[in-house]
């Protein structure tokens, strides 16, 4: 089970929808929501070592920084491997799967919006893995 869940999407309404799903799974107290990926990255930099397993639901298309740039910073800065990233996107293209494969140490799944509660439950139960 995750000790902290980061929602990183530039659209607040998407983060709110994900929060509702997480509330249904009784995980709302673990959620940190960010519309700015740079702020989420800063929070991870300073809090990732002490929090145990962390889940990040990461949007791909954001104006300040793409999800893949976010993952690149995680890799370059050698953030701990206790962080599982689920890429959340409106459209899963083959290009996204290839790019996600470059960050296998972090990316554990790719989901299309809107996320279904059964997919989120599988992830939070740590039963879901990505096939490349």
Could you tell me what percent of the chain has a pLDDT over 70? Answer: 92
Report the distance separating Cα 17 and Cα 59, nearest Å.
13
Mean residue pLDDT of the chain comes to 90
pLDDT of 132 > 80? The answer is no
- Chain segment 26-54, per-residue pLDDT in tens: 999 999 999 999 999 999 998 876 668 99
Mean of pLDDT values over 72-95: 92
- The structure tokens listed for 23 are 């509330």
pLDDT value at residue 129:
41
Lowest mean pLDDT among 29-33, 116-120, 122-126: 122-126
Matching residue, tokens 């599988």: 122
Report the distance separating Cα 67 and Cα 71, nearest Å.
6
Q: How does residue 118 score in pLDDT terms, banded at 50, 70 and 90? A: very high
- The Cα-based distances of 113 to 42, 50, 62, 108, 119 in angstroms read 25, 30, 14, 16, 11
pLDDT value at residue 91:
82
Question: What's the whole-model pTM score?
Answer: 0.91
Going from the N-terminus, what domains does the chain have, and what CATH number goes with each? 4-118 (3.40.50.2300)
């Amino acid at each position: 089970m995750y000790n902290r869940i980061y929602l990183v999407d530039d659209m607040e309404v998407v983060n709110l929808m994900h929060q509702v799903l997480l509330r249904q799974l009784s995980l709302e107290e673990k959620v940190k929501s960010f519309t700015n990926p740079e702020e989420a990255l800063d929070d991870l930099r300073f809090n990732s070592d002490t929090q145990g397993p962390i889940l990040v639901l990461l949007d791909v298309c954001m104006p300040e920084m793409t999800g893949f740039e976010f993952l690149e910073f995680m890799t370059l800065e050698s953030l701990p491997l206790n962080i599982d990233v689920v890429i959340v996107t409106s459209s899963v293209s083959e290009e996204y799967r290839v790019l996600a494969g470059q960050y296998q140490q972090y990316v554990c799944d790719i989901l299309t919006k809107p996320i279904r509660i059964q997919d989120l439950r599988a992830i939070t139960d740590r039963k879901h893995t990505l096939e490349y």
